[in-house]
Amino acid sequence: MANHNGRSVGQTAADLARTAKALANVIKAAGAGGLKGAAIAAAKEYAPELVKLAVCVLIVLIVVPMVVISALPNIFFGFDTSKSPSIRQMSSQAQSIGAEYVNLEQFENTEIDAIITGIVSEYTEAGENVEEIILDSDFSADDLLWFVAINSVASKQDLSKMRSDEIRERSAARLSYREELRGTRLYIWISKLDPEYWMTQLGFDEDAKLWARTLHETLLESGALEKYAERYGGTELSYSGDTGYHGAYERGSGCDVDIDISGFISPETKNSHDLAAYVIQAWENNWGYVWGTFGTVLTPSLFEYKLEQYPKGVGNYEDFIRDHWLNHRTADCIGLIKGYGWLDAESLTIQYGTNGMPDYGANQMHAAAISSGAEHGAIADMPEIPGLCLWKDGHAGVYIGNGYAIEAMGTKHGVVRTAISDRGWEEWYMLPYISYDLLPGEEG
């Protein structure tokens, strides 16, 4: 006899047996790992509905994977109209965290790209000739499953403790690399920490490791990420910049690739006045825009690597970039800001990931500033402080005073000067990694 799906009673019984076994493992691991908080509360609140959907199968094949991703059933079971403030708050948080997981591969690729750009820049600054970049790196689906499981346990399955910036920091922290220059060929190997080793590095005890292994196994067998990824709205990055703007802007007239800090008031520190001076210099020297760069010189080998990595966002503008930005300094919008943070005042080189400046995207940098308690506000209420950062969704700029900003606008624009009243900026904020206390004439 077959059921309505064409599956035999024996097949169904076997599935239920496997489900029961998996459920026992989940319960054991949950007790060991300390599953608590939002997910339990939500499950209790909607217990009658869950029972109607066959509790055993639902918990193992749907609820638990969704707890891993979001710890919230109401998104998936139609409880979007819940009147409970705590449930609505969990819904918003779950959507944010779920989106981070869905977009993790995209973020990791961006992180790897920044590492490689920094390595190539160091060799170029040292006078080495790099004609070809050979990258060995891959991202498997199992890498993502392990990351979700381990990150969930690291946060003790408490949604209120899960933060987007920590998810990305953990992703970056598990990456390692080595490089070797053989003649003019630069070989770069990117690797990820082994899950067991990574859990040990994070201080997991055996109970926590058991919980992470069980979550990984549940995700793997249920296919939850594939089933529900669309609900979290994966985003496609715009690798060519803010292409929708057609208003007025000013380009610089110079083309010097040297960095001049003679106008800095305190080169040994990081401060708002020197940030403004730095981006003004980038504008005056007509720096270009290429995704994933941060003020480094776009060498032919680096450009070829970018073309391979981003065949659409960079490849669609290959001729333009080759004609306008090749062998010039280039940056993307947030890379213009990060480049100042990574600038070494003694060597006048940009050294990736230094001086306490994190490698964040435009939205992440803005979010990190707000969460740190940095001053921020609406553009209409912006104080007259050169060096303030400007933000709108997916884009960043720097206020330089008198109503003007410098921004790396896009591939066909480069680094330009614009009036802030024309650009749709949503907020200003103080970058938490530099000082806003110094004024011209003072020293750090």
Task: Give the pLDDT confidence score for residue 337 in this predicted structure.
Answer: 98
Instruction: Name which CATH class applies to 250-429.
Output: alpha beta
Closest Cα to residue 404, out of 414, 417, 413?
A: 417
Q: What is the pLDDT of residues 367-403, one digit of tens each?
A: 889 989 999 999 999 999 999 999 999 899 999 999 9
Query: Residues 158-178: what's their mean pLDDT?
Result: 81
Is this model's pTM higher than 0.85 or not?
Answer: no
Radius of gyration from C-alpha coordinates of the chain = 25
Is the per-residue pLDDT at 71 higher than 60? no
41 has a pLDDT exceeding 60:
no
Average pLDDT over residues 184-194: 92
Question: Quick one: pLDDT at residue 59?
Answer: 39
Residue 100's pLDDT is what? 72
Q: Bigger pLDDT: 444 or 233?
A: 233
Helix ranges (DSSP H) in 342-394: 362-371
What pLDDT sits at residue 192?
87
Quick one: CA torsion of 22, 25, 27, 30, rounded to 10 degrees? -120
Please check the confidence at residue 127 and state whether its pLDDT lies above 80: yes
For 330, phi then psi, to 5°, come to: -135, 160
Please say if the pLDDT value at position 29 is more than 70: no
Nearest-angstrom CA–CA distance, 159 and 346:
44
Instruction: Say which residue, 175 or 51, is predicted with more confidence.
Output: 175
Q: What is residue 64's predicted lDDT score, i.e. its pLDDT?
A: 45
Separation of CA 288 from chain center: 23
User: Residue 301 has what pLDDT?
Assistant: 95
Report which DSSP code applies to 288: B
Question: What confidence score (pLDDT) does residue 275 get?
Answer: 98
Instruction: Give residue limits of the domains in the chain.
Output: 1-78+86-222, 250-429
Q: What is the pLDDT of residues 228-266, one digit of tens each?
A: 666 665 555 667 787 778 889 999 999 899 999 999 999
For the record, the structure tokens of 294 come out as 């941060």
pLDDT reported for residue 174: 86
Name the CA dihedral angle for 160, 193, 349, 335, rounded to a multiple of 10 degrees: -40
What per-residue confidence (pLDDT) applies to 228? Answer: 66
- The amino acid occupying position 175 is L
Residue 432 has pLDDT above 80, yes or no: yes
pLDDT tops 60 at residue 318 = yes
Residue type, 74: N
Are 130 and 124 in contact, with CB atoms under 8 Å apart? yes
Q: Which of the residue ranges 90-99, 255-264, 321-330, 404-413 would you say has the lowest mean pLDDT?
A: 90-99
